[in-house]
Amino acid sequence: LQMPKFSEVAEMLKKRYDHFAVQVEIDVTKRARKRLRRKERSERQNPIRGNEMVYVMRSPSYCERNDASGILGTSGRECKHSSYNSDSCDLLCCGRGYNTRLERRMTQCHCKFVWCCQVNCKECIEDVQVHTCK
């Protein structure tokens, strides 16, 4: 039996949270003895099933800056235009779009391995497109 990859577990949890998570509150009446119940009154007649994902408080939005919560937001954050991962502009910029600028960067290039334990590189100037969230 092999454990699934971390990324597969994360993707499955995210899908369940996005589509099936139920907000609950704790019923502290003596009769209920600290039982969870659905927060939405119209849904309370439906019992919480054992396979449902539940949460007590909504997660904050990490898109917008919130100094009280220590959330920096994503405005001004560098992102990858052509990525489909968590660093993609589509995901990080929260639908606000992004700015693109050309930046000159010094990089190491034409590196060569010199016998035992040394790598010699030249420095090159490279023009790079940098994308940052609006």
Q: Pairing state of beta strands 35-38 and 78-79?
A: unpaired
Please report which residue ranges of 56-127 form alpha helices under DSSP H.
89-92
Q: Model-level pTM greater than 0.85?
A: no
Structure tokens at 3: 């454990």
What is the β-pairing status of strands 98-114 and 118-133?
antiparallel
- Segment (H or E) for 57: none
All structural domains of the chain with their residue ranges: 1-59
pLDDT of residue 32: 55
d(CA 87, CA 94): 12
Residue from 94, 75, 97 nearest 86 by CA: 94
d(CA 45, CA 38): 9
Question: Each residue's pLDDT tens digit in the chain (134 positions)?
Answer: 889 999 999 988 888 888 778 887 777 666 656 677 777 767 777 777 777 778 777 778 899 999 998 999 999 999 999 888 888 999 999 999 999 999 999 999 999 999 888 999 999 999 999 999 99
DSSP letter at 47?
Answer: P
Q: Which amino acid is at 68?
A: A
